[in-house]
């Protein structure tokens, strides 16, 4: 069986690099892109390499960064520009393969196994992509080349900026076993502390550990990390262009900042629910099941589902049910990196509905939501928004319609 050829492309210092395209005068100065002080207390969203070498870190508060580096140049974030460049880069990637899995606005996995006859080896494709992105956008990208997704991402992180790193079946032990265990995707700060408590500090030690011990200490994730470290990850690159018939509808998002409390989660659910309700309306669907997906710093998704007493299709009902499911299952062990909602067991709105005797739905919310949607269609998506969403930014970046 032919080994897969997987690439992971990571745009270097993405937000800062985009801003510096229009500010060449700042090329040799420490620069940080910061969130609004008024809205989210002002933190560093991205920094250039000069600032990084001076100790500036992502998620640092602005005042901490300025105290560390008084000459730090602060720039406002412009998300419309980042979306533009993200789409432009993705168009380049699709010229090499149609199997592209975005991982946020600045990262993507590519399965180029079937493209090697056209474009050369995985390493050759990586250099071609790197050159195209630099020529057509002015941005640089680090690319990892490997036989699975975990090692491809490890490769893109291995040497930055503007580099190509190949991690193969022949060299992976030599290249990665000496690295700290938390350099691999899936090992966040809390997981790393747990690993250290059982004497595991490096990826080599993780690969050599007893699987039963790992599972006992970290649950299913512990065993999964053992597979990752030993190069046994077989997860596919999931193309968004290769979707089956609609059996469920979902939206997920990675916010600019991690979610840290229920208020953040509720506002995010409002935004996600409006997108889901819009597609339910377009397809004349109601939903009988709702699932909440949560990804914390371990970068693995956990899902919590609920079969509903009544079929739903309104955004406020979707958000309320999602919040109920979330509160029943998530214990805030750590902040949330990404979150999503999926609705499934879809039925046509024309089908007879068995409504609960206790349902209070008299059609008023339905009429109100339809009128709001009419206004948005005429005057734009943001023409009318819920009061709770004022000054709260959410970037709904992903839709999945998948088989049940």
Closest CA to 154 of 8, 37, 30: 8
Q: Is the peptide bond before 217 cis (omega within 30 degrees of 0)?
A: no
DSSP 8-state assignment for residue 24: G
Q: In what order do the strands lie in the sheet with 141-146?
A: 100-102, 107-111, 6-11, 141-146, 164-166
Q: Cα(308)–Cα(314) distance, rounded to whole angstroms?
A: 14
Helix (H, G, I), strand (E, B) or coil at 401: coil
Say if strands 73-76 and 44-47 run parallel, antiparallel, or are unpaired: unpaired
Q: Cα(15)–Cα(129) distance, rounded to whole angstroms?
A: 20
The CB-side HSE value for 44 (13 A sphere, CA atoms) comes to 27
Q: What is the dihedral of CA 215, 218, 219, 224, to 10 degrees?
A: -70
Q: Cα(339)–Cα(270) distance, rounded to whole angstroms?
A: 12
Closest CA to 330 of 319, 318, 339: 339
Host H or E run for residue 219: none
Q: Cα(209)–Cα(319) distance, rounded to whole angstroms?
A: 42
Q: Cα(285)–Cα(359) distance, rounded to whole angstroms?
A: 19
Burial group, residue 133, by CB count within 10 angstroms (0-12, 13-18, 19+): buried
Catalytic residue list contains 136: no
Which one of 101, 107, 297, 321 is the catalytic residue? 107
The catalytic site residues sit at 107
């Amino acid at each position: 069986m032919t080994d897969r050829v997987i690439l992971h492309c990571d745009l270097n210092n993405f937000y800062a690099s985009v801003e510096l395209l229009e500010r060449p005068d700042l090329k040799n100065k420490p620069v940080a892109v910061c969130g609004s002080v008024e809205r989210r207390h002002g933190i560093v969203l991205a920094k250039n390499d000069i600032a990084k070498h001076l100790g500036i870190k992502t998620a640092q508060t602005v005042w901490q960064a300025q105290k560390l580096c008084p000459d730090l140049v602060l720039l406002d974030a412009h998300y419309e520009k980042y979306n533009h460049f993200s789409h432009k880069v993705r168009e380049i990637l699709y010229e090499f393969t149609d199997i592209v899995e975005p991982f946020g606005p600045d990262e993507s996995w590519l399965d180029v196994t079937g493209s090697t006859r056209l474009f050369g080896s995985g390493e050759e494709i990586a250099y071609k992509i790197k050159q195209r992105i630099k020529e057509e956008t002015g941005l640089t990208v680090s690319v990892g080349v490997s036989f699975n997704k975990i090692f491809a991402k490890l490769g893109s992180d291995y040497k930055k900026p503007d580099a190509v790193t190949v991690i193969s079946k022949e060299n992976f032990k030599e290249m990665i076993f000496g690295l700290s265990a938390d350099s691999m995707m899936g090992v966040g700060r809390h997981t790393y502390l747990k690993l250290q408590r059982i004497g595991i500090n490096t990826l080599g030690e993780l690969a050599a550990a007893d699987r039963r011990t790992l599972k006992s200490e970290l649950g299913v994730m512990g065993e999964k990390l053992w597979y990752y470290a030993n190069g046994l990850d077989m997860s596919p690159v999931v193309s968004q262009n290769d979707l089956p018939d609609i059996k469920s509808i979902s939206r997920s998002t990675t916010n600019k900042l991690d979610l840290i409390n229920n208020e953040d989660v509720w506002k995010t659910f409002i935004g996600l629910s409006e997108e889901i309700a819009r597609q339910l309306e377009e397809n004349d669907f109601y939903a009988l099941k709702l699932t909440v997906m949560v990804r914390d710093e371990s970068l693995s998704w956990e899902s919590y589902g609920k079969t509903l007493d009544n079929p739903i299709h309104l955004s406020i009902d979707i958000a309320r049910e999602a919040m109920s499911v979330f509160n029943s299952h998530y214990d805030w062990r750590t902040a949330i990196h990404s979150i999503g909602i999926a609705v499934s067991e879809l039925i046509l709105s024309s089908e007879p509905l068995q409504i609960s005797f206790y349902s209070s739905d008299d059609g008023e919310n339905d009429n109100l939501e339809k009128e709001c949607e009419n206004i948005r269609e005429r005057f734009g998506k943001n023409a009318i928004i819920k009061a709770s969403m004022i000054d709260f930014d959410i970037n709904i970046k992903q839709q999945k319609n998948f088989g049940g």
